[in-house]
Amino acid sequence: MTLLELAMVSFTGGLISLDRTAAFQVMISRPIVAAPLVGLMLGDPLTGLKVGLLLELLWIGYLPVGASVPPDETVVSIAATAVSVWLLRSFGAADTDMGAIVFVLIFLMPAAIAVKRIDSFIRKMNIAATRLADDASENLDIKALEKACMSGL
């Protein structure tokens, strides 16, 4: 995987991850959509579809609704697709070889829990930003209100 491909996957993954709760929310962050998009970017949409299907089946019941913070399937689907495409390219495995994809998924599953904990921390920080926004709106301080609102992203 080239440095340019890595940068493209990272940037696209960041934008897709915003879709979970921070912005947009048009469901492109679900694995069935995110993984094939990353696979398409890397020239292997079939591997992305396989990763997306497996992860979607595992996490179809987990949605970030309300105060619920489920494991972050978006990060795993993006990373697993990129690593799977890299492995299949590097070792010349056949496209039908699911062993490499399953290995990558098992290896990256703990990342979903780690990102869940980070997401919980960020939500707590957003509560503090909400309080700052309340104070700024009471004092009619537009600049502080803008800063508090944008700090959530």
pLDDT at 99: 87
Whole-model pTM: value is 0.82
pLDDT at 4: 94
Mind giving me the DSSP string for 100-138? HHHHHHHHHHHHHHHHHHHHHHHHHHHHHHHHHHHHHHH
Mind giving me the DSSP string for 21-39? TTS--SSTTSHHHHHHHHH
pLDDT averaged over consecutive 10-residue blocks of the chain (153 residues)? 92 90 83 96 94 93 79 93 92 75 93 90 87 90 89 74
pLDDT at 119: 85
